[in-house]
Amino acid sequence: MQKYWKLLLSQVKLDTAYSLRFWAGSITSVIRLVMLYAFWQAVYENRTTIVDISLEQMLTYSVLAVLLSSYIAGAGTQLAAGVLNGDVAIELMRPYDYINKLISLDLGSKLTSIIRETLPMLVVALLFIGIHAPHSWEHALLFLFSTLTGILIGAQIDLVVGLLSFWTINISGLRILRASFLLFFSGTLVPITLFPQWLQIVCTYMPFPSMVFVPVSIYTGQIQGADIYPAIGLQLFWLLVCWMVSRLFWLLAKRRITIFGG
Amino acid sequence: MIEVRGLSKHYRIAKRKQGLLGAIQGLFIRKYTSKKAVDDISFTIASGEVVGYIGSNGAGKSTTIKMLSGILTPTSGDVLVNGIVPYRERQKNAKKIGAVFGQRTQLMWDLAPRESYDLLKHIYQIPEAIYQKNLHEMTEKLQLHSLLDIPVRQLSLGQKMRCEFVAAFLHDPAVVYLDEPTIGLDVAAKSRIRSFIKQMNEEKGTTIILTTHDMQDIEELCRRIIIIDNGQILYDGDLHAVKNSFLHEHVISFELDEEKEEILIPGELEGLVTYIPEEGNSNKLTLSFHPETISAAQVIAAVLHHYRVRDVSIAEPKIESIVQEIYERGA
Ligand SMILES: Nc1ncnc2c1ncn2[C@@H]1O[C@H](COP(=O)(O)OP(=O)(O)O)[C@@H](O)[C@H]1O
Ligand SMILES: [Mg+2]
């Protein structure tokens, strides 16, 4: 366990090694926030609500969704690069599990982005944009738990996409597909409740809403009361499914390296 | 220490047909050809040996090393390293081995070597005292002190490779695999690395398997060599025996001080050496001879006696030419 922790820390060191890149990250995320604000201001120009959502609620949702969406990627890109340059084979002769190593590094990156992106964005959002507080204390705690689950689902899906590079040479198409699916169906762009009814039903059969829409809606109170626990249960179900799929793919990928030589 | 019995690795290569039709067909039916990269080899290596594993490109050296290190599962046959079957207990095997692959870095590109080493300490669970001692000794031997805190991407190839060697030996592995570790390095870096390998073997008793195309690496480090060609072992034994019985041709080239219409072989060398014509050079005299019939010193003395010589060069014996000779003789 300790070795994975050290791997995580090494990634933190790496991410903070270039202070210029570090602060550039902070600035871009604040700019994104300002653009978000301007966008919704414009949309709400001549009305007070859209489908019963007020500007303040919409801004709160969007800001949190954007904050969260920077955590739902994972180690897939690194994995795909490792497959391409043949490093995966070399990694098999280390006394650790390569996938667990990648997950540790990824968590390390996420730890730095809390400081680099999330904190500055939160400060700006609270001071200037005026997002509202969580629906209740209970909602705040469940939001944190739900967020963590959502992030883990995202990391597993990203690994699965990365693992596909063992079977397809060109993975960039898949990554674009994944990114656009995520943006739309996770609820990062707009809350899923704004979708037409049939599309909302389709969404319940996908893991994507569990990544952003569910945790943020718990924060804002769009999901409340008796609906909360089934929503979290569904998240946990998707986490289990995605984890099993990524492990299966990794087993197959490992078999492929050790038998076909990469 | 290392036992290999009847080891084979056959790669399966998908045959692709040309054109669109072929590509579509390939989605449904695939035809495979098999490539015998390693074909029924056996050898035993004792603890503390330094063995040169040589052969031409594509002979199967890297494939063998990948099977020994647990990266590849053999098609058939047995491997046992430190009493472990490497491909079955990959991580357990990993703790006891080290490796350097030429032109492939195991250090973290954006971090200084020291940080990579610190990470390796945790990954291999090296006790702090041993880690400090090894790091100190090894950086001393490779003269790395001044490089430890520079990001790896800023180091030259030679500096990087020296850093790689520390990474491979830091956890006191019982066996170290070196797959063309000196490729592309300058003479100074090569010689530092050679003396490091030698010291590690002598002081720690590390077993070493070395593949290289550099005959000097082999001569300075290995008593025993295993020659592999087309996946099969051609020779396994003493280096000097193979050199004496197979490496017949020594080649010496003289650059003469004057241009001559026709360069004649000195009389006393008649029948003992062979004249190798050189294209375009009318002032070059290149002779090949068998070291058993006449010594290099005698050849040089004879030529100096007849000609004014500006320069003499002795061609390096090539591993490829040994392999070629053994092959031709059908040994
Ligand atoms: N992953 C692979 N798939 C198919 N063929 C391979 C693979 N790796 C190596 N080969 C083939 O196996 C043979 C031996 O390769 P290798 O062990 O790398 O040789 P060496 O290291 O001696 O140059 C070569 O003909 C090479 O083309
Ligand atoms: Mg090779």
- The pLDDT score that the predictor gives to residue B324 is 65
Task: Tell me the ipTM for this assembly.
Answer: 0.78
Q: For residue B299, how far is its CA from the centre of ligand 2 (angstroms)?
A: 38
Separation between Cα atoms, residue B211 and residue A4, nearest integer Å: 33
- The pLDDT score that the predictor gives to residue A6 is 87
- The pLDDT score that the predictor gives to residue B27 is 66
Separation between Cα atoms, residue B40 and residue B3, nearest integer Å: 13
Contact A93 B94 (CB under 8 A): yes
Query: Mapping DSSP to helix (H, G, I), strand (E, B) and coil, where does residue B208 land?
Result: strand
pLDDT tens digits along A176-205: 888 888 888 998 888 888 899 999 999 889
User: Ligand 1, residues B62, B75, B226: which to mutate, most atoms within 8 A of Cβ?
Assistant: B62
Atom 27 (ligand 1) nearest CA: B58
Numbered ranges of CATH 3.30.70 in chain B: 248-330
The residues spanned by each domain of chain A are 2-254
According to DSSP, the β-strands at B31-45 and B2-15 are antiparallel
The alpha carbon dihedral of A199, A156, A89, B198 has a sign of positive
Nearest residue in B to A5, CA atom: B122
- The pLDDT score that the predictor gives to residue B127 is 95
Q: Which letter does DSSP use for residue A21 in this model?
A: H
Tell me, yes or no, if B8 comes closer than 8 A to chain A by beta carbon: no
Nearest residue in B to A7, CA atom: B119
Amino acid identity for residue B323 in this structure? V
DSSP-assigned beta bridge partners for residue B312: B254
Query: Mapping DSSP to helix (H, G, I), strand (E, B) and coil, where does residue B118 land?
Result: helix
pLDDT tens digits along B2-33: 999 999 999 988 776 676 776 676 666 677 78
Strands across the sheet with B76-81, in order? Answer: B31-45, B2-15, B76-81
- The pLDDT score that the predictor gives to residue B280 is 67
DSSP-assigned beta bridge partners for residue B286: B253, B276
Nearest residue in A to B12, CA atom: A260
Residues of chain A with pLDDT under 70: 19, 169, 262
Strands across the sheet with B284-289, in order? Answer: B273-276, B284-289, B250-256, B309-314
Compute the nearest-CA separation of A258 from chain B (Å): 4
Separation between Cα atoms, residue B170 and residue B134, nearest integer Å: 6
CATH code linked to domain B2-10+36-243: 3.40.50.300
Tell me, yes or no, if B110 comes closer than 8 A to chain A by beta carbon: yes
CATH code linked to domain B248-330: 3.30.70
Numbered ranges of CATH 3.40.50.300 in chain B: 2-10+36-243
- Among candidate residues B210, B162, B209, B157, the one with its CA nearest the CA of residue B184: B157
Nearest residue in A to B115, CA atom: A10
Separation between Cα atoms, residue B279 and residue B277, nearest integer Å: 7
Residues of chain B with pLDDT under 50: 331
Contact B175, B144 (CB under 8 A): no
Compute the nearest-CA separation of B91 from chain A (Å): 4
- The pLDDT score that the predictor gives to residue B331 is 46
- The pLDDT score that the predictor gives to residue B88 is 92
Contact A3 B66 (CB under 8 A): no
- Tell me the chain B residues in contact with residue A6 when contact means C-beta distances shorter than 8 Å: 118-119, 122-123
Atom of ligand 1 lying closest to residue B12 CA: 4
* A95 closest CB neighbour out of B104, B110, B124: B124
Contact A258 B63 (CB under 8 A): no
Q: Which residues line ligand 1 (CB under 6 A)?
A: A 260-262; B 11, 13, 35, 37, 55, 57-63
